[in-house]
Structure 1
Amino acid sequence: MNEPQQESQAFWRHAAFRELGLLAARFREHRYDRHTHDGYVIALITEGCERVRVGRQEVLAPAGSVLVVNPEEWHDGEAGAEQGWAYRTFYPSVSLLSEVATELGQAQAPLFPGALLDDPELSRLLAAAHAESTSSDATRAEASLLTALRRLVLQHGDADRPAEPLDRSGAQRRFSRYEKVIEDNLAEDLDLQALAAAAGVTRFQVIRDFKKLTGSTPATFIRDRRLRRANRLIQEGTSLADAAFAAGFADQSHLSRSFRAVHGITPGMFRRAG
């Protein structure tokens, strides 16, 4: 009988696009908590199967398929089969995909309406781009990635969507106030009463607004924003302990636990990737 393979993860930066992070991981027991990114997530499943909720979609992604998560979309992830899953992931920024879209003659950054893509040619190109991301030939690494992103954008991006209408609902207006309070006070203790007072509503209304607009709870949203601030600080060279304090975590251990639950790697691995 074959022994189950151990969980593993490695994170690094692209040879030609230093802002682009890449992950190679194998998970069986690990479960990603619900979270967001300010950029895209593009994941090629190489073994097994992953179960993912993206927004209101729930999909099973088998080996050979590609998962795409748009910026700010809430998502999680866990094993979709007993043996777990392995995957190769790219985390491109909005600016990077905007540049690609511009060169392809599109006016705005693409969005991807379908989280699960069945495109063998795209899978092949992404596998090659991931493998060549550490190449000593940066031009080759660059060309490989751009070729894969070109197919992704042209074949699967929603370039013709109309401009999004302005949401004038009370929930949306209140939510902008909640966000400001959270961003201005991440390093402090935050509670529902502070959010309710900022918008002139009850704590129960705060909970309903978060559920309606994010599908999540205020606490989950606050942790997500704390992690995103810690990410930025770590990338800027701040120590892990100082980043934890500045982002509102109780200590470095608290940051590490939350970081791994969302990113699948430790803050130290993230920092070492440069």
Structure 2
Amino acid sequence: MDATETRKYWRHPCFPDLGLFKARFTRHRYELHTHPTYVIALITAGCERIRIGRHSVLAPAGTIAIVNPEEWHDGEQGADGGWAYRTFYPSVPLMAGLARELGGDVDPVFLHAIIEDSDLAEALVAAHEGSTSQDATKAEASLLVALRHLIVRHGDWSGRSEAIESSGSRQRFSLYEDLVESQLGSQLDLQRLADAARVTRFQVIRDFKKAIGLTPAAYIRDRRLRRASSLIEQGLGLADAAIAAGFADQSHLSRSFRATRGMTPGMYRRGG
């Protein structure tokens, strides 16, 4: 990692299923990946270029970038000098619970990748800074205020507007998902995926492209990273987590972790 870049990860004292990240990047480039959580990133300086799904957007200072759970995204500098940001990773149950408290009956979905809302930006800064306060009540309240603002003013409670249509590819993709999740620690290749769905290896590639716009390899790597993250949170050693998730070794996990999370596995463990 570039020594001039800074990054810090920790968990909210009142909401242990919510991670927080603060960083400044000049050269770092995120590879495509997903999160099981929402990603709420307030850009505090510079500009970030982000690909979310099939769209590429610019997020300048003062804007909020939103990534829904399971959406593929990356990130890199959008201008000379890079960017700085404060990020929240609230879990789906947390956001769903708040939405229901506010009168919604489905999980919130955010249709706009970039939000310009100075009041929300101010609330997010207060919540992010408040998460390190010794005053637990203040830390809790400031977060709830910010997330309420986000959900009420910018959430679409009617569900995703561009859900993938039910089709042969979508149905087969469910088979691929189940196989990958159950066999992450073993060798996974196109033939195993093809056998599961009784199609050719070429059809597997087409199915992944149609369903998520990425290769099977990228999807498998992402799921392995998520499995390793979960095991690290549970207290498993880094080397053991790497092997259990299907990585060749700890160094392989570390390279992939830095490329998609912007931090090392050790940093992630210390923040948990």
Normalised by the length of structure 1, the TM-score is 0.96
Counterpart position of 1:114: 112
Counterpart position of 1:17: 15
Match of 2:62 among 53, 61, 64: 64
Counterpart of 2:131 in 1: which secondary structure?
helix
What's the RMSD between the two structures over aligned residues?
1.6
Counterpart of 1:81 in 2: which secondary structure?
coil
Counterpart position of 2:168: 170
Shift of 1:161: 4.0
Q: Does residue 82 in structure 1 map to residue 80 in structure 2?
A: yes
Shift of 1:227: 0.4
Deviations, residues 162-182 of structure 1 (Å, cap 9, x unaligned):
899894310011111111211
Shift of 1:115: 0.5
Counterpart position of 2:39: 41
Counterpart position of 1:220: 218
Counterpart position of 1:138: 136
* CA distance in structure 1 between the partners assigned to 2:153 and 2:252 by the alignment: 41
Counterpart AA for 1:39: T
Mark the CA change 1:63 to 1:134 in structure 2 (over 3 Å): closer, same or farther: same
Q: Which has the larger displacement, 100-109 or 140-149?
A: 100-109
Alignment of 1:1-274 (within 5 A): 6-161=4-159, 167-274=165-272
CA contact (8 A) 1:67 1:117 kept: yes
* CA distance in structure 1 between the partners assigned to 2:262 and 2:33 by the alignment: 12
Counterpart of 2:22 in 1: which secondary structure?
strand
CA contact (8 A) 1:32 1:78 kept: yes
* CA distance in structure 2 between the partners assigned to 1:37 and 1:196 by the alignment: 26
CA contact (8 A) 1:12 1:23 kept: yes
Structure 1 unaligned segments of length 5 or more: list them: none
* CA distance in structure 2 between the partners assigned to 1:118 and 1:165 by the alignment: 25
* CA distance in structure 1 between the partners assigned to 2:265 and 2:69 by the alignment: 21
* CA distance in structure 1 between the partners assigned to 2:227 and 2:21 by the alignment: 20
How many matched pairs?
271
Normalised by the length of structure 2, the TM-score is 0.96
* CA distance in structure 2 between the partners assigned to 1:20 and 1:94 by the alignment: 10
CA contact (8 A) 2:9 2:271 kept: yes
Shift of 1:18: 1.4
* CA distance in structure 1 between the partners assigned to 2:124 and 2:161 by the alignment: 30
